[in-house]
């Protein structure tokens, strides 16, 4: 039994869906995170929105060094 969504098979849907979900996760993380410099947040938002594939790959590699450490009081 094969599942078709709009003429696409399961593998094609996953190939489209997985990068989109990763992109959404990165955007939410950027918006919710506190950066040492607010300019970095704006730059990361622009990079991820304008160059999604590059931004999604570079953000987890570079951005953790630019974020403030969590104080434990965040809800």
Confidence category of residue 39, pLDDT binned at 50, 70, 90: very high
DSSP class of residue 60 equals H
More reliable by pLDDT, 30 or 73: 30
Whether the pLDDT of residue 57 is over 50: the answer is yes
Q: pLDDT tens digits, residue range 13-38?
A: 788 899 999 999 999 999 999 999 88
Burial (Cβ within 10 Å: 0-12, 13-18, ≥19) of residue 40: middle
Question: Angle of helix 38-50 relative to helix 52-62, nearest 10 degrees?
Answer: 140
- What are the extents of the domains in the chain? 17-63
What are residue 35's phi and psi, to 5 degrees? -100, 155
Whether the pLDDT of residue 75 is over 50: the answer is no
The pTM score is 0.77
- Percentage above 90 pLDDT, the chain: 56
């Amino acid at each position: 039994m094969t599942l078709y969504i709009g003429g696409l098979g399961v593998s094609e849907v996953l190939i489209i869906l997985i990068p989109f979900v990763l992109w959404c996760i990165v955007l939410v993380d950027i918006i919710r995170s506190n950066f040492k410099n607010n300019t970095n947040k704006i730059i990361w938002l622009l990079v991820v929105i304008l160059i999604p594939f590059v931004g999604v790959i570079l953000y987890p590699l570079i951005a953790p060094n630019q974020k403030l450490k969590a104080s434990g009081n965040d809800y």
